[in-house]
Amino acid sequence: MYISITGLKPKNFLSKIKFWMLAIPSFRAAQKADGNLFCEVKEVDGYKHTLTAWKDRNYMMEYIHGITHSKAMKEFSSIATGSTYGFESNEIPSWEEALDLWKTNYKEY
């Protein structure tokens, strides 16, 4: 199973509006994507986090290269900062574990 942890922080108020216009459809697409096993969001310290689990990395890559997520990624640098961390695992981490892993492996885009 492939785990992906994302933390994105909108740059300002206008960016936050655009962020949500892109993030909501992307999240819904992830929930419906082939190979998605788990998909949740959480806000911590101004960062909008996603925690997703996929059957394997290939399923996640199919979602990433899909129309909805690709559209959001094209706008990312103008509206937010943040990072993702992904890894293979036999279990889905708790939110506490996921956020610790994300913070430990954080590399801002």
Q: Number of folded domains in the chain?
A: 1
Residue 87 lies inside a defined structural domain of this protein: yes
Domain span at residue 79?
2-104
Residue 37 in any domain: the answer is yes
Q: What confidence tens digit (pLDDT) does each residue in 4-58 have?
A: 999 999 999 999 999 999 999 999 999 999 999 999 999 999 999 999 999 999 9
Residue 109 lies in a domain: no
Give all strands of the β-sheet with 2-10 in edge-to-edge order.
36-44, 47-54, 2-10, 80-88
Here the CATH number for the domain that contains residue 92 is 3.30.70.100
The pTM of the full predicted model, rounded to 2 decimals, is 0.92
Name the token pair of 46: 């101004």
